[in-house]
């Protein structure tokens, strides 16, 4: 099966899909309808369900798996799914939510294994113990959490994928600039975004938690580092340095870091985070673009369209 986002206009559809989002609407002449975002592993597509009633609204909620028959058509330059039949999937059909959500290309266990290897490179015992403690504590969530609600690494295991990709880049940079302290750099990369397992609700239909809104993943993680140090009876500059790395990784106050980077590893951490996030967005956008054409506008990249060369 090709995946719902890969089908051309006119193609017939008959498959299981997950409702990612469901919104009620009324047409300009007052008729009720539902607007659904349906997804499988390839991504998501919009669909309309006409002449709906309260029963439909209760049945077709977010996170429900449905069996849909229909056809792909073009609506204002974007593909849509015209629904002909729809029903809720039956338990005996054995479809899991995890079968229908995009996830990292590399299996999460393999990513976790690669992350674990970096623990052996952290020599400082205080840094090592705090980092291991926090990864162990959040491991179940970390295995599946996305790194964001949208834009980059916004899929199952996206957070872990992002962290491992950054570790690879961090290692390459540290080899070229040996004045960097790899204990701090690797621990900073591993911990910088783990607060997102509290800030975001989870891998499906991801939104912000109240704590995520009021405190944010940076503050959440800075607190957890402090708590971990207390629990492990660790004192010393390492605690403050790890907190500073997490605290400053957005690079500037207006981007949510209450302090700018003030150690060189924090400065480089900010760059590594940026490069990895941008390459993830660019790859995705360019994969959908033909040579000689421009991508759609990418909001987090200053709303730029990127050109795909023909050479």
Task: Write out the binding residues for its own copies, residues 83-122 only, by CB under 8 A.
Answer: none
How far is it between the farthest Cα atoms of the chain?
A: 68
- 124 sits near its own copies (criterion: CB under 8 A): yes
Residues 294 and 307: beta-carbon distance below 8 Å: yes
Sites for its own copies among residues 288-307 (CB under 8 A): 292, 294, 301-302, 304-307
Stretch that binds its own copies, among 36-44, 112-120, 147-155, 248-256 (CB under 8 A): 248-256
Shortest distance in whole angstroms from residue 115 CB to its own copies: 16
99: phi then psi, degrees, rounded to nearest 5: -75, -15
Stretch that binds its own copies, among 101-109, 113-121, 139-147, 232-240 (CB under 8 A): 232-240
Stretch that binds its own copies, among 14-22, 59-67, 145-153, 221-229 (CB under 8 A): 221-229
Stretch that binds its own copies, among 12-20, 101-109, 152-160, 226-234 (CB under 8 A): 226-234
Sites for its own copies among residues 48-67 (CB under 8 A): 48, 50
Minimum CB distance to its own copies smaller for 180 or for 190: 180
| CA atoms of 265 and 311, how far apart (whole Å) | 37
Tokens 């600039």 -> residue: 177
Residue 85's CB is within 10 A of a number of other CB atoms, namely: 10
| CA atoms of 68 and 49, how far apart (whole Å) | 11
CA-derived radius of gyration, the chain: 22
- 161 sits near its own copies (criterion: CB under 8 A): no
Partners of 47 in the beta sheet?
36, 81
């Amino acid at each position: 099966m090709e995946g719902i986002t890969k089908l051309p206009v006119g193609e017939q559809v008959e498959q299981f899909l997950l409702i990612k989002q469901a919104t009620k609407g009324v047409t300009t002449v007052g008729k009720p309808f539902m607007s659904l975002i349906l997804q499988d592993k390839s991504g998501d597509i919009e669909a309309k369900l006409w002449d709906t009633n309260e029963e439909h609204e209760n049945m077709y909620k977010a996170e429900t798996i449905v069996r849909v028959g229909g056809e792909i058509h073009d609506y204002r330059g974007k593909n849509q799914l015209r629904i002909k039949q729809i029903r809720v999937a039956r338990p005996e059909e054995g479809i899991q939510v995890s079968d229908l959500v995009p996830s990292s290309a590399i299996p999460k266990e393999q990513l976790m294994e690669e992350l674990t290897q970096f623990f052996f490179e952290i020599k400082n015992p205080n840094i090592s113990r705090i980092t291991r403690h926090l990864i162990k504590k959040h491991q179940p969530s970390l295995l599946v959490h996305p790194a964001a609600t949208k834009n980059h690494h916004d899929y199952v295991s996206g957070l872990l994928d992002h962290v491992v990709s950054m570790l690879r880049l961090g290692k390459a940079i540290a080899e070229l600039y040996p004045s960097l302290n790899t204990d701090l750099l690797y621990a900073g990369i591993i911990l910088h975004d783990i607060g997102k397992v509290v800030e975001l609700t989870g891998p499906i239909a991801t939104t912000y938690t109240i704590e995520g809104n009021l405190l944010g993943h940076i503050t959440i993680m800075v607190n957890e580092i402090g708590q971990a140090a207390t629990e492990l009876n660790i004192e010393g500059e390492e605690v403050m340095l790890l907190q500073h790395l997490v605290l400053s990784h957005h690079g500037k106050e207006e981007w949510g870091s209450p302090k700018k980077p003030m150690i060189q590893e924090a400065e480089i951490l900010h760059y590594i985070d940026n490069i990895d996030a941008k390459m993830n967005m660019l790859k995705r956008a360019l994969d959908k673009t033909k040579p000689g054409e421009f991508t759609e506008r990418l909001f987090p990249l200053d709303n730029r369209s990127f050109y795909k060369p023909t050479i």
